[in-house]
Amino acid sequence: MKAMILAAGRGERMRPLTDNTPKPLLMVGGKPLIQWHIEALQAAGFTELVINHAWLGEQIESQLGDGAQWGVNITYSPEGEYALETGGGIFRALPLLQEAEDEAFLVINADVLTDIDFRQLPTRIEGLAHLLLVSNPAHHPQGDFALKGKNVSSTGEPLLTFSGIGIYRSRLFADCQEGAFPLAPLLRRAMQQNLVSGQWHQGLWLDVGTKERLRYANTILS
């Protein structure tokens, strides 16, 4: 299974830090935030990685290179100056993510900090997606989706927060076209057909989306 790290976000809430540095390269615990993911993926046996980028993306390629220093192989999916959002970014990268038709692949938001062991995620899924959910953080108390047994639903109690980590199959994007579009509507449509499974991670998870949470991430790792 291949893995994709979503690294194309502009990082508006992190400005001015992201005016000259892409958010995935901001330092957390002494190394770029995205490097924590690369190392965790390699430790879990993922060696073929795809990274998309947009704003200042050339810095990401220059700093990470082909990934050899971490024992992985990195392929890039550039999106130009303007990011394609989560759904559009994954859709563009589909040819890079699959060696077999409709093969599942892992996707991770670059701007989260987590202690998840990626070996705890399934290597095969029966439906179209498998989501990692977490307890609702203070900045997102309303949650996103409900976990009913092994299935994920857009309604129910309690609502948990989508971590930005999921396993997908290309059929989730069957009716999509090139361009910018979000992932959430595709997931909700699949949920209506009971084609989305999930699990609840109750360990460390932090959305490093603001300067305050960046400082908190550094506190955690210090």
Contact at 8 Å (CB) between 73 and 26? no
Q: What is the pLDDT of residue 100?
A: 66
In the block, which residue shows the tokens 């603001």? 210
Residue 200's CB: how many other CB atoms inside 10 A?
Answer: 12
pTM: 0.94
Q: Is the pLDDT of residue 99 over 80?
A: no
Every domain of the chain and the residues it spans: 3-221
**pLDDT of 123:** 87
The rounded radius of gyration (Å) of the Cα atoms in the chain is 16
Answer whether the bond into residue 137 is a cis peptide, omega within 30°: no
The 10 Å CB-count burial string (b at 16+, else e) for 153-172 is: bbeeeebbbbbbbbbbbbeb
Are 160 and 133 in contact, with CB atoms under 8 Å apart?
yes
Residue type, 19: D
- Which tens digit of pLDDT belongs to each residue from 41-88? 999 999 999 999 998 999 999 999 999 999 999 999 999 878 899 999
Rounded CA separation 206/179 (Å): 29
pLDDT at 155: 92
Residue 26 burial (CB count, 10 A): 20
pLDDT band at 14 (very low <50, low <70, confident <90, very high): confident
The proportion of the chain whose per-residue pLDDT surpasses 90, expressed as a percent, equals 86
Residue 36 neighbours by CB under 8 Å, 6+ apart: 28, 29, 113
Tokens linked to 165:
């980590």
Q: Fold for domain 3-221?
A: Spore Coat Polysaccharide Biosynthesis Protein SpsA; Chain A (3.90.550)
